[in-house]
Structure 1
Amino acid sequence: MPKPIVPKSLQSYVTDWMMSPGLEHDGFVFMTGLTGADADGLLADNPTDQIEAVFEKIGMVLTEAGLGFEHLVEMTSYHVGLRDHLNAFKDIRAKYVSEPFPAWTAIEVAGFVREGACIEIRCIARRN
């Protein structure tokens, strides 16, 4: 049976959007695409702060599941203005992931539900 992974600060995903920030099934944790709004729902104007915020949210979901970034097996990042902040993204990502690195796909998109968001990341983690 799938088990929802819901950090307290992300409870609005369940109540407002009827989705789990993470869902564990058969040792895998599938994460909803998370944007770069901070824990208070505020969205920074610059991509660097948004990228930092989204990695912090990923960390919250992993921690709630009893996992860490070393458990990530796949990451898909969606970007508005990919080439404008790709180097910043790579630098920030390198602070969180380590070998063996998760598989990663970066995709340029036209926009997100949240106006002003420039990044959304979806991940899959696996228990060892």
Structure 2
Amino acid sequence: MKSNQQRQSIVPSAFRTRYENFHYSPAVRVGDIVWVSGQVGTDSEGRVGIDMTEQARFAFDALKCVLEQAGATLADVVELNTFHTQMRQEIQAFVAVKDEYFPSDYPAWTAVGVTELARAEFRIEIRAVAVVGSGGR
């Protein structure tokens, strides 16, 4: 296997505790493709956002952090999958925040309503796939 095809776990320092406690990589990069694990609505200290808007911003900020550690940017995201506990009530608030992070050249996106996430107070989880360098920004 070529060296650029080696599997690389991406673990930013802010994610080290979660990596050690829950045994998962925040992202995995193989070649130019980065798969980012689900990001939830907490800030860097683990505080849960008070509403959908704040949780979405926290999750997108975490996504951006993980991508940067992997050598990618939000512009390189080709696919988003989002999981919502209150999708019908909060989808417009989520879309408004998503559009702040993806104002053009939108990635493919699938939104799924779910009954629960890892913690009862979580309203959103965002996972992504990026192709490093594909965004051209």
Does the alignment reach a TM-score above 0.5? Answer: yes
C-alpha separation in 1, matches of 2:18 and 2:113: 24
| Pairing 1:39–2:40 present | no
Give the % identical residues: 28
Q: CA RMSD in A?
A: 1.1
Query: Which segments of structure 1 move beyond 2 Å, counting only runs of 4 or more?
Result: none
CA contact (8 A) 1:31 1:124 kept: yes
C-alpha separation in 2, matches of 1:69 and 1:45: 24
CA contact (8 A) 2:79 2:109 kept: yes
Q: Tell me, what secondary structure is at the counterpart of 2:61?
A: helix
Aligned to 2:10: 5
- Which runs of structure 2 are paired with 1:1-128 in the superposition (5 Å)? 1-128=6-133
Shift of 1:44: 2.2
In terms of mean alpha carbon deviation, does 25-34 or 72-81 score higher?
A: 25-34
Shift of 1:5: 1.1
| Structure 1: gaps (5+ residues) | none
CA contact (8 A) 2:73 2:132 kept: no
| Structure 2: gaps (5+ residues) | 1-5
CA contact (8 A) 2:49 2:58 kept: no
Aligned length: 128
Shift of 1:88: 1.1
Shift of 1:113: 1.3
